[in-house]
A and B are shown apart, each in its own frame.
Chain A
C-alpha cells in the first residue's frame, strides 16, 4: 500500500553523531582468532607450491583436470582419481585494477588482479592471482602469463610463494 502509507518508520542518524556523542551506543570488538586447516587437497597443493610447481587433481569420469585441486569431483560427485602437475603458465581470463586497499584507503601502486586459466588444466580452470612487471594499461584479455616464484628458501607453502604472474611471449612457453 505504498501510496496509502503516509510515513515510513526509521530514525535516521549520522555516523558523525557517534563521534560527537549525540547517539549513545555500546562498542565491542570480538576477541576471536581462527586457524583454518588447509585440508587434504590444499595441503598437497601448498607443498607443491613450495617446490615451485602447480598441481591439479583429475577425474577420469568427466576427464577434467581441476585447479585448484580438490579431493572430489563436484560434477560427478566421486573421489578424484589422482594428482597431475600442470604448468605454471596460463592465460588471463579476466582482470581488474585495484586502486584501494581493504579498508577503502587509496594505494599508491595499483594492484592488478586476474583470474588466470592454468595451462595443462581443463579449459576455464583458473586461479586468482596478481599480475606484475607490466603497466596496468597494457594488460589484455587472453594475455599469456607465467608465474614468478619467490626463491626456494623464501617459500613457505603459500599461494604467495608465487609473487605474481608476468606476461610472456607465446613462443617462449
Chain B
C-alpha cells in the first residue's frame, strides 16, 4: 500500500495525556506496627519466626521461608552497621546537589534484611563498610509514623 510518509514533522500526530491517579498505600499489619514503634517508642523492631528462628527487618507478617504467621516481635535497639553505601551527588532530576547525600543499607546483628536510610554527621570519605551507626530520631512531637521519623543514622563515637 502507499504508506505515504508524512514528511513535515509538524504534521506528526500525537496526543498528550496523563493518568489522573493518586495513591494511598496502607502500611499493612506488620508495617503499621513497625512505624508506630518508631513513632511512639523510638525503637526499631523486627519480627521473628518461632519455627526458623529468622528475625526479619523490616518486619514481615509472615515468614518467607516456612510461611508461618509471625506474632513475635523483637526490639533490635537503635544500633546497626553499614552493610553497603553510596554517595549521591545528583538529585532525582539530575541536578547537582549542594551537599552530597550518603545512602546506606544498615543491618542489625543477625536479623535478615535491613533498612535503607541516610547517613548524617559524617563525611563521605569517612564512611566505611562495617561502620557501626546509630539511629537519630526526630523529636517525638515531629514524628508521624514514617520512616523519615528517623532523621538519619550517624557513626557511633
A touches B (Cβ under 8 A):
yes
Contact check, B3 vs A42: say whether CB atoms are below 8 A apart. Answer: no
Q: Which of B1, B18, B19, B36 has the most CB of A within 10 A?
A: B1
In the bound assembly, the distance between CA atoms of A29 and B23 in angstroms comes to: 6
Q: Determine whether A38 belongs to the interface, using a CB cutoff of 8 Å to chain B.
A: yes
Give Cα distance in the complex from A64 to B16, angstroms. 31
Is B126 interfacial (CB 8 A cutoff)?
Answer: no
Given the interface pairs A32-B18, A71-B3, A81-B1, the reply to whether A27 lies near B12 with Cβ below 8 Å is no
**Contact check: which of B3, B17, B35, B146 meets A34 at CB < 8 Å?**
B17
Please state if A30 and B19 are interface contacts (CB–CB under 8 Å): yes
**In the complex, how many angstroms separate the beta carbon of B126 from the nearest chain A beta carbon?**
32
Within 8 A of A (CB), among B6-31: 6, 11-27, 29
A37 to B26, CA, bound (A): 36
Q: Tell me, in angstroms, the Cα distance from A4 to B1 when the chains sit together.
A: 65
Q: Which of A13, A38, A40, A44 contacts B26 (CB 8 A)?
A: A13
B4 at the interface (CB under 8 A from A): yes
Size of the chain B interface, CB-CB below 8 angstroms: 28
A135→B23 CA distance, assembly (Å) = 39
Number of A-B contacts (CB under 8 A): 80
Contact residues in A for B22 (Cβ distance below 8 Å)? 27-29
A37's partner among B1, B14, B25, B32 (CB-CB below 8 A) is B14
* A82 to B26 CA separation, bound complex (whole angstroms): 54
Q: Tell me whether B1 and A71 are in contact (CB under 8 A).
A: yes
Tell me, in angstroms, the Cα distance from A25 to B27 when the chains sit together.
6
> Which residues, 1 to 39 on A, are CB-close (under 8 Å) to B?
11, 13, 18, 23-30, 32-38
The proximity string for B residues 88-117 relative to A, scoring 1 for CB distances below 8 Å and 0 otherwise, is: 000000000000000000000000000000
B148 to chain A, nearest CB (A): 10
Task: Check B23 against A33 for contact (C-beta < 8 Å).
Answer: no
Q: How many Å from the CB of A23 to the closest CB on chain B?
A: 6
Q: A26 to B23, alpha carbons, bound, how many Å?
A: 8
B4 engages A44 (CB within 8 Å): yes
- The CA-CA distance from A30 to B24 in the complex, in Å, is 12
Counting CB contacts under 8 A, is B157 at the interface? no
Chain A 52-83 interface residues, beta-carbon cutoff 8 Å to B: 57, 71, 79-83
Q: Are B1 and A82 in contact (CB under 8 A)?
A: yes
How many angstroms between the C-alpha atoms of A38 and B13 in the bound complex? 5
Contact partner, B15, options A27, A29, A35, A79, Cβ 8 Å: A35
CB distance from A37 to the nearest CB of B (A): 5
Q: How far is the CB of A162 from chain B (nearest CB, A)?
A: 16
Q: B6 to A23, Cβ gap below 8 A?
A: no
Q: Which 8 A-B pairs have the closest CB atoms?
A: A38-B13, A43-B13, A28-B23, A26-B25, A37-B14, A24-B145, A25-B24, A35-B14
Chain A contact residues, CB within 8 Å of chain B: 11, 13, 18, 23-30, 32-38, 40, 42-44, 46-47, 57, 71, 79-83, 102, 157-158
Report B's interface with A, CB cutoff 8 A: 1-4, 6, 11-27, 29, 32, 35-36, 145-146
